[in-house]
Amino acid sequence: MKAYVGIDLGSTTTKAVVLDGEGNMLGRGITNSRSNYTVACDVALSEALISARFGLIAGELDRSGLDDTARSAALCALDRLFRKHQYLAQLRVFAEIARRIIGSDLLARDYRGVLDEILVAMEAETSDLYAPGASRKSDFFRDLAGSRYLSFAEGSARSKRVAFDRLVGLFDKTILEVENVSAGDGAFEAHAKAAYGDFEEAPAALGVALRRASAVPLEVAASVGTGYGRQTLPFPKEQIRSEILCHGLGAHAMFKSTRTVLDIGGQDTKAIQVDGDGIVTSFQMNDRCAAGCGRYLGYIADEMNLGLHELGPMAAASTRPVRINSTCTVFAGAELRERLSLGEKREDILAGLHRAIILRAMSLLARSGGIGNEFTFTGGVAKNPAAVAALGGLVRENYGDLTMNISPNSIYTGALGAALFARRDAQRAAA
Mean predicted confidence (pLDDT) in 308-323: 86
Please say if the pLDDT value at position 96 is more than 70: yes
| Average pLDDT over all residues of the chain | 89
Mean predicted confidence (pLDDT) in 353-368: 90
Predicted pLDDT at 383: 87
Do the Cβ atoms of 295 and 329 come closer than 8 Å? yes
**Residue-wise pLDDT tens digits, 139-192:** 789 889 999 999 999 999 999 888 899 899 999 999 989 988 876 555 888 999
Do the Cβ atoms of 394 and 279 come closer than 8 Å? no
331 in a structural domain: yes
- Which has the higher per-residue pLDDT, 267 or 196? 196
**Angstrom distances, CA of residue 18 to CA of 25, 46, 48, 253, 426:** 6, 10, 6, 14, 14
209 in a structural domain: no
Please say if the pLDDT value at position 266 is more than 80: no
d(CA 426, CA 418): 12
How many separate domains does the chain show?
3
d(CA 163, CA 33): 30
d(CA 431, CA 133): 50
The pLDDT > 70 percentage for the chain reads 94
Please say if the pLDDT value at position 108 is more than 80: no
Please say if the pLDDT value at position 332 is more than 80: no
Mean predicted confidence (pLDDT) in 180-205: 85
Based on the domain organization, do 374 and 321 belong to the same domain? yes
Based on the domain organization, do 84 and 182 belong to the same domain? yes
Predicted pLDDT at 360: 86
d(CA 361, CA 256): 23
Cα 194 from chain centroid? 26
Q: Classify burial at 368, counting beta carbons within 10 Å of its beta carbon; exposed 0-12, middle 13-18, buried 19 or more.
A: buried
225 in a structural domain: yes
The amino acid that residue 198 corresponds to is D
Entry field: residues in the chain: 431
Please say if the pLDDT value at position 109 is more than 80: no
Output phi, psi for 269, to 5 deg.
-125, 135
Predicted pLDDT at 289: 57
3-state secondary structure of 236: coil
Based on the domain organization, do 336 and 263 belong to the same domain? yes
The amino acid that residue 217 corresponds to is P
Mean predicted confidence (pLDDT) in 317-346: 76
* CA-based nearest residue to 137, from 315, 316, 310: 310
**Residue-wise pLDDT tens digits, 382-418:** 888 999 999 999 999 999 999 999 999 999 999 999 9
207 in a structural domain: no
Do the Cβ atoms of 232 and 40 come closer than 8 Å? no
Identify the H or E element spanning 404.
strand 404-405
Mean predicted confidence (pLDDT) in 219-224: 94
> pTM of the predicted model, to two decimals?
0.86
Which CATH number fits the domain that encloses residue 31? Answer: 3.30.420.40
- Lowest-pLDDT choice from 83-92, 210-219, 269-278, 354-363: 354-363
- Lowest-pLDDT choice from 8-12, 104-108, 122-126, 147-151: 104-108
**Residue-wise pLDDT tens digits, 42-66:** 889 999 999 999 999 999 999 998 9
- Lowest-pLDDT choice from 114-128, 251-265, 348-362: 348-362
* CA-based nearest residue to 46, from 77, 15, 90, 78: 15
**Residues 6+ away with beta carbon under 8 Å from 303:** 332, 333, 336, 337
208 in a structural domain: no
Predicted pLDDT at 340: 81
Based on the domain organization, do 283 and 294 belong to the same domain? yes
- Which has the higher per-residue pLDDT, 282 or 343? 282
Based on the domain organization, do 230 and 265 belong to the same domain? no
Based on the domain organization, do 72 and 144 belong to the same domain? yes
Predicted pLDDT at 184: 56
d(CA 287, CA 21): 38
Predicted pLDDT at 17: 97
**Residues 6+ away with beta carbon under 8 Å from 177:** 97, 101
- Which has the higher per-residue pLDDT, 324 or 81? 81
Predicted pLDDT at 107: 63
The amino acid that residue 337 corresponds to is R
Based on the domain organization, do 93 and 15 belong to the same domain? no
d(CA 181, CA 175): 10
d(CA 171, CA 159): 19
Based on the domain organization, do 194 and 148 belong to the same domain? yes
d(CA 91, CA 120): 10
Based on the domain organization, do 197 and 101 belong to the same domain? yes
Based on the domain organization, do 285 and 394 belong to the same domain? yes
